[in-house]
A and B are shown apart, each in its own frame.
Chain A
Amino acid sequence: MIPLQAMVIALVAGAALAVVLTRDLVRLALISSVYGLLLVVLFVVLQAPDVALSALVVSGVGLPFVIAVAIAIDRAR
C-alpha cells in the first residue's frame, strides 16, 4: 500500500457516500461523473490501465449521456 492509493481510496469512499445521499437529480449527474472519474484514478494506481480506460469511456461518455437524457425526460413531464 502506498500513500497515493490510500488517498484515492478515501476519496472514492467519500464520493460514493455523496452520490448516494444526493437526491437532486442534476447534482446527482455531476457527482456521479466525479465518482466515475475517481474510480478511473483508483484503477490506474491499482495497475489496471485496461480497466481504467474502460471505466473512462463508460463514465466519461456512455453513462453521462443516458443519465442526462433520463433526467431531461423526467424534468420535462
Chain B
Amino acid sequence: MSRGFRLGLFAASAVGLAALLLWGVAGLPDFGHYAGPYGYVLNAVAPNERHVTNVVTATVFDYRGFDTLGEEFILFSAAMGVALLLRDVRDEEREPPEDGIRSDAVRLVGVALVPVLVALGLYVVAHGFITPGGGFQGGVVLASAFLVVWLAGEYRAFRRLTPTPAVDLVKGSGAGGYVVVGLAALLLGNAFLHNFGPLGTAGTLASGGSALLLNLASALEVAAAFVLIFTEFGEELVNVRLRGGG
C-alpha cells in the first residue's frame, strides 16, 4: 500500500470520524452543566461516610478501589514487560561503569534535592485523603528522588541504592499488598476490598480506614515500578555509552 493511498484513505476516513465525534459530543450537556448523578452522590455522601476531605481519593481507593487494583497491575505489568523486552541487557550482569565526572555544583544540587524529594513524596502520599495527591503521585516523586541521585552523576550510587532484588521485593509486596488488603476484608466476612478499620477524623492523616493501606501499597508499587523502568532504560543507555556509541 503506497503512502499516498494511505494518506488518501486516512484523510477521507478522518473527516468522517471527526464529523461523527463532533456529532457525538454535541449530544452532551453544555460544558459546565454536568447532570450527574454519580459524582454528585459521591460528593454528598463521601465526606460524612468516609471521613475524608478529598473525594477523588475516596473514589480511587474506596468506592472504585477495584479499578485501582487493575490500575496498579497495569503499571506492574508494564514494568515487567519492559524488563522482559530489554532483558538481554539486564542478563549481562555487568559491573556498573564509572560515573561521568560532573561538576561539584551539579552534584551538590542533586544531593540537596534528594531529601527534599523524598520528603515531598512521603507528604504527597500521606495527605492523599486530605489534599490532592496520593499513592500514584507520591510514588512517582519518590522514584524521581532515586533518579536525581543518578542525574547528579552517581550511576553506581543509583544502582547501589536500588538493588534489583530489593526493587522486586518492594514492587511485588506493593502490588500483592493491595490484593491482600482486599482479601483481608473477605476473611472478615465482608466484600472484597471492603473498607474496614477505623475511619478516623476527616482532615487528619489517619482518616480513610483500610483504604489508607491501599494508598500505601500503591505508593510502594508505583515507586518501585518507576525505579524498575528507569533502571531498565538506564542500563540500555549505559550499555550504549560503554560501546563508545554516544
Q: Which A residues contact B (CB, under 8 angstroms)?
A: 1, 49-50, 52-54, 56-58, 61-62, 65-66, 69-70, 72-73, 75-77
**Which B residues touch A61, using CB under 8 A?**
140-141, 143-144, 147
Interchain pairs with CB closer than 8 A, number: 56
Given contacts A57-B140, A61-B147, contact A69 B133 (CB under 8 A): no
Contact yes or no, B134 A50, CB < 8 A: yes
The residue among A57, A61, A75, A77 with the most chain B CB atoms within 10 A of its own CB is A57
Q: Is the interface of B mostly helix, strand, loop or mixed?
A: helix
State which of B161-169, B190-198, B232-240 sits at the interface with chain A.
B232-240
B245 & A62 in contact (Cβ 8 Å cutoff): no
- Return A59 CB to nearest CB of chain B, in Å: 11
Q: For residue A69, which residues in chain B have a CB less than 8 angstroms away from its CB?
A: 233-234, 236-237
Could you tell me if B32 and A65 are in contact, using CB atoms closer than 8 angstroms? no
Could you list 14 A-B pairs, sorted by A, with CB under 8 Å?
A: A49-B132, A50-B56, A53-B124, A54-B136, A57-B141, A61-B141, A61-B143, A62-B229, A65-B230, A65-B233, A66-B229, A66-B233, A70-B233, A73-B237
| Known A52-B132, A57-B140, A66-B233; further 14 A-B contacts with Cβ < 8 A | A1-B32, A50-B54, A50-B57, A50-B134, A53-B137, A57-B137, A57-B141, A61-B147, A62-B229, A65-B147, A66-B229, A72-B246, A76-B245, A77-B245
Which residue, of B54, B137, B144, B234, has the highest number of chain A Cβ atoms within 10 A?
A: B137
Complex Cα distance, B151 from A61, in Å, reads 12
Q: How big is the B interface, by class?
A: 20 to 34
The residues of A that contact B234 with a CB separation of less than 8 Å are 69
In Å, the complex CA distance between A65 and B56 comes to: 28
The 10 closest A-B pairs by CB, nearest first: A76-B245, A76-B246, A49-B132, A57-B140, A69-B233, A61-B144, A76-B240, A50-B56, A50-B132, A53-B137
**B23 is an interface residue with CB less than 8 A from chain A:** no
- The closest CB in chain B to the CB of A1 belongs to B31
Contact of B226 with A by CB under 8 A: yes
A residues within 8 A CB of B31?
A: 1
The docked-state distance in angstroms from the alpha carbon of A52 to that of B133 is 9
Assess the A53–B246 pair: CB atoms within 8 A.
no
Q: Are B144 and A53 in contact (CB under 8 A)?
A: no
Nearest CB of A to B215, in Å:
13
B240: chain A residues at CB < 8 Å are: 72-73, 76-77
Complex interface: chain B residues within 8 A of A70 (CB): 233
> In this complex, which of B124, B140, B230 has the most chain A Cβ atoms within 10 angstroms of its Cβ?
B140
Q: B134 touching A72 by the CB < 8 A rule?
A: no
Beta-carbon contacts of B183-208 to A below 8 Å, as 1s and 0s?
00000000000000000000000000
